[in-house]
Each structure stands twice: as C-alpha cells, then as structure tokens.
Amino acid sequence: MSKSDTEERNVISVHKFLHNYEAKEPKGREVTRDTTNAYGGDLEHMMQGACSGCLKRCNRDFTQSIYCQNSVSTLMSSSLQGSVLIMHGPVGCGSQNHGLHGRVGLASKHRGVPKEEVIWLSSNMTEDSVIRGGVSNLREAILKAEKEYHPSSIFVLNSCAPGVIGDDIESVIDDLRDQVNAILVPLHCPGFAAKVFTSAYDVVYHGVLKNFEFDQGMSLAKTDKKEKIVNLFVASSISAYDEKEIIDLLGKIGIQARTFIEYRSPEELKRITEADLNVCLCHVHDIYFVNFLKEKYGMPYITPSIPIGISATNQFITEIAEFFGLEEEAKELTEKETQKVQKAVAPIKARIQGKTAVISGGYLRIGTTALLLDDIGIKVLGLRHFNYDEFGNPLFEEVKERIGNITNSVSTQASELVNLLRKLKPDFAITHPGAGVWVEKTGVPTLVLFSENFSYFGYRGVFELARRIDRKIRNYSFTTHLSENVELPFLEQWYEKDPYYYIND
C-alpha cells in the first residue's frame, strides 16, 4: 500500500467542519464540527444523529454544571517548558491552577525534563475594571511576568469578564511584543464561548500556530535523511508510561518517534517540521494542529485509533508501518506481542470474565477501552461520553458490532451519571478523573480512565488495566463503607426519572 493510500484512508477531513487559521480565534466545536454535549439513548441512534446533524440540536432544560474551556486551556499551556500564564479576569478564574503544580511536576519528572513550577499571574479584574476595562491591568501583568520570571513564552488566557466587555487583548499584546523577550500568545477561552470544553484544544493550538516559529527548512531537508521519524501528538491525559510504550514499539520496527507539544520548549517546537509523518494519538485533541502543519508545511498526517487494547494497538502500529512500507515488520511484531499479552492476561481473564462495567469520559478513549474490556471477557453495559460528533462513528461502529447497541449518553452532568448507574447496576465503572468520587458514593467500585501513574496504551496497558480491574473487584470495602456513610445531594424522586429527563431535542 502506498503512502498516499495510507494517508487518504486514515485522515479525518477537517474540511467537513469550519476552520480558519487566519482568524483571531477559532469558533467553538458545537459550531465548527456539530459537537454535542447532550444526548441520551443508544449507540445506533447517536451515530445516526451525528451524521444527519440532528445531534447538535440537543440541549438541556437544566444544567448542573459544565467544564470550562478556560481550565483545559490552562492545563495544556502550563505544560509547555518555560511558560508563564496570565489569567486575564477576576482572580478566582485561576483558583484551579494551584492543583497544576503537582500534576505538571510529576509528569515532567516521569519524562526526564526539567521540573518547573507552574507560574501564573492574574490581571485581578475588579468591578471597576469591568466597567472601565481591564487592559491596563493586563499590560502591567505582562510586564511583571517578563521582569520577574524571564519566561520563554507568556500565555494570556482571556476569561469571561473581559470577553463580555470586549477587552482588546490583541492590541495590548501587539504593543508589547517589542518590549519583552517572551513569545506572547493570546488565548481566547472564555467559558461562555463554548459549551463543548474540547474547543480549548483548538484555542491553544491556534495560539501556538500563530505565534510560535517552525523551521520551514526542516521540512525541505527531509529527503536527505535516512531516519524514519514520526511526531506523536500527545495530550495531558497520556502518561509518560504510555508514551514510552508506543515509542518502544515503533522503535522495534525502525521508526523513531518523538512527542509533541506538551513538555516541549519553543526551541524544540521549531523542529516539529523535520518529521516524515504526524500521528494523532487522539484526534479529538490534535486534528486542528496537524491539519495546519499539512496545509502550511506539506506534512502528511494520519489519525489511527487511540492504541488502547490489543486490536487498537495492532491497528495503530500497522497503519504507521504502512506509511513507511514496513507492513511485514509490523505484522511480525504485532503477532508476537499479541501472543505474549494474551498468555499473560489469561489467568486474570478467568477470574474477571462475566463482570459488567460502565465507562465514562472522552469518546475515543472510552470506545477503545470498551473494546479492551470485551477482549478480556467483561460485558460493557453502557457508555457516557463528555461530548460527541460524527468523527467518532468509525470507532463506535466497531463497538456496536462487537458489543451491541448498548445504552449510551453524552453528558458532563453528575446527576445523570449517578442516575444511570442506579439503573444499570454495573460491577464496576471506569471514569474520567473527577467523576469517580460520584460513582464511588453510589457504591460502584471505580477505576480511573487515565492517570500519570499508570499504563493504558499498547500491550502493557492491556495487562496493567486487567490487573487493576481484578484487584478492584476483589477488594471494594472502601466503596461499600463510603456509600453507606455518605448521602448524595439528589432527591429520591430524581432516581425514579429517566436519566435523560432534562435533555430536549
């Protein structure tokens, strides 16, 4: 199979949704790709609605809470080496930033990169600033960040208050570019601007592609080198163990893999264009940026399934290998590794086979995790996506074929999740960090969907997750005691209603 055939088969066409790399800021994904965060039903109906455009019309009569794209933008930008963040808005908009120190520090340590504090400042807008404008506060904060910390980059995160009053942060930044050494990056990420929090990925990448430098000469020199180099685009949900697993596997068939953009410096980002191929480990996270690199620098990209589970990992390695004409090497590797992990998992599978589960989180990760659970004999009763659009359909067609037309919801609402669990009664659940506490309080043992401390990707991830499931369902006394002594803040009448009671279409 030729490179062009492989690329064509595995590329998501971003022309199916709006993108304008010259614009000041990208639009929210509910606009650009018809992404929804409200749906209740089954897999088949959800996929049909995503293709027809009907899914985007779903909404809620009542919303308990939603994720803020500002917090996701903060997490992503804080991971870049040498960065300082300025939260342009009231000081409370940075309240969640204190928790980033441990997370970014641990991730940096695991990757062997210099451990840095997460440094953030606030323009500290007050009621007076909202009336008169907050640009003077912002200007002062940028100059202070430059003087005190000498960062390589300064990210200015525009929050709701300045977004509502129309503070012109672009003019302030443009005026200061010659006065500071740091790269100045405006990020327009007010929470009200997008119901779908994954819009933040496009926001951060938009800021990076418009303000960071990439060495165009690297892409022109690629024909002179013998190495087969791929860029793996990672996310904060991908651990160092997962990165190492994939890098090692690709290395066994002669492919050199590097990770971007988290935990990289501006100087390292310049060399992004020297690779032969860009690979999305999670296209929900990176499709906006890799398509820019294709349009601007002619870099091909593929969007294989996230490598969680045996079949997805085999597919992931094979699709990358096809680009380089290494199909035979990939086949030999995947067959050998598959046999090894199946043998290792067999004793565990015998103990956990027949157990039931519900999975909650981002749709690519929960879809491949569902297939992994099916491989080890666990029956998946239902899925709960944070958001969904038609670009998940190829994966969930496979989920439907292998597992069935199971219960399916799109929600970030804790109330809907606990209601769903009451009705499905799984033996355990796998949930996104932050949601597990709600699940544990219902009496359902819970494992985290991703963590910097564990492996999930590749063949090692299959064994590690199976082992953790085995341990969890054999020892759930903490969950039992917690549920017996903690009362959830929902009336009993709520559990008598349909979990999707507040969703309208």
pTM flag (> 0.85):
yes
Mean pLDDT of 157-161: 92
Which of 11-15, 144-148, 418-422 is predicted with the least confidence, judged by mean pLDDT? 11-15
Angle, in degrees to the nearest 10, between helices 69-78 and 199-211? 40
Q: What pLDDT score was predicted for residue 257?
A: 97
User: How much is the pLDDT for 225?
Assistant: 59
In which residue are the tokens 């969640």 written? Answer: 96
Q: What average pLDDT does range 106-116 have in this prediction?
A: 88
Tokens of 208: 């990076």
Beta carbons of 270 and 215 less than 8 angstroms apart: yes
What's the one-letter identity of residue 84? V
Query: What's the number of CA atoms in the CB half-sphere (13 Å) around residue 413?
Result: 24
Cα(437)–Cα(421) distance, integer angstroms = 13
Alpha carbons 174 and 185: distance in angstroms, whole number: 10
Within 8 A by CB and 6+ apart from 24, the residues are 170, 188
Distance CA 497, CA 474 (A): 32
> Which tens digits make up the pLDDT trace of 230-266?
999 999 899 999 999 999 999 999 999 999 999 999 9
Q: What are the structural domain ranges in the chain? A: 3-16+215-328, 69-194, 342-504
- State mean pLDDT over 85-114: 90
What pLDDT shows up at residue 224? 52
- What secondary structure letter does DSSP report for 115? P
Q: How would residue 490 be classed by pLDDT, with cut points 50, 70 and 90?
A: very high
Gap between the Cα atoms of 287 and 199, Å rounded: 12
**What letter would DSSP give residue 36?**
B
Q: Where are the beta strands (DSSP E) in 234-378?
A: 256-260, 277-280, 301-302, 356-361
Q: What is the pLDDT of residue 191?
A: 84
pLDDT at residue 112 tops 70:
yes
Contact 398, 371 (CB under 8 A): yes
Q: Tell me: the pLDDT tens digits for 55-76?
A: 777 788 888 888 888 888 999 9
Task: Tell me what percent of the residues of the chain surpass a pLDDT of 90.
Answer: 75
Q: Across the chain, what does the average pLDDT equal?
A: 91
So what's the pLDDT on residue 50?
86
Q: What is the per-residue pLDDT across 320-370, written as a single tens digit (0 to 9) for each? A: 999 999 999 999 999 999 999 999 999 999 999 999 999 999 999 999 999
pLDDT at 3: 55
- Give the model confidence (pLDDT) of 375-425 as tens digits: 999 999 999 999 999 999 999 999 999 999 999 999 999 999 999 999 999
| CA gap 181, 171 in Å, rounded | 17
pLDDT over 60 (residue 218): no
Stretch 7-30: mean pLDDT, rounded? Answer: 71
Query: In Å, how far from its chain's centre is CA 251?
Result: 25
- Establish whether domains 3-16+215-328 and 342-504 are of one fold: yes
Residues of the chain by 3-state class (helix, strand, coil), percent to 5: 55, 15, 30
Edge to edge, what strands does the sheet with 256-260 contain?
256-260, 229-233, 277-280, 301-302
Mode of pairing for the β-strands spanning 183-188 and 356-361: unpaired
Q: Output the CATH code of domain 342-504.
A: 3.40.50.1980
| Cα separation values, 54 from 31, 39, 96, 318, Å | 13, 11, 35, 35
Amino acid at 174: D
Closest CA to 104 of 242, 262, 231: 262
Six token digits for residue 317: 């390695």
Run of H or E residues at 439: helix 436-441
Residue 134 token pair: 């907050």
pLDDT tier for residue 171 given thresholds of 50, 70 and 90: very high
Q: What is the CATH number of domain 3-16+215-328?
A: 3.40.50.1980
pLDDT band at 426 (very low <50, low <70, confident <90, very high): very high
Written as six digits, the tokens of 165 are 């009053």
Sign, CA dihedral 450-455-461-466, equals negative
Tally helices (H) and strands (E) across the chain.
23, 16
pLDDT at 501: 93
Q: pLDDT at position 9, please?
A: 45
Considering the domain delimited by 69-194, tell me its CATH architecture. Answer: 3-Layer(aba) Sandwich (3.40)
In order, the DSSP letters of 127-181 are HHHHHH-SHHHHHHHHHHHHHHH--SEEEEEE-HHHHHHT--HHHHHHHHTTT-S
| pLDDT at residue 193 in the model | 82
Decide if pLDDT at 469 tops 70. yes
Residues whose CB is less than 8 angstroms from the CB of residue 100 and which lie 6 or more positions away in sequence, other chains included: 74, 75, 78, 118
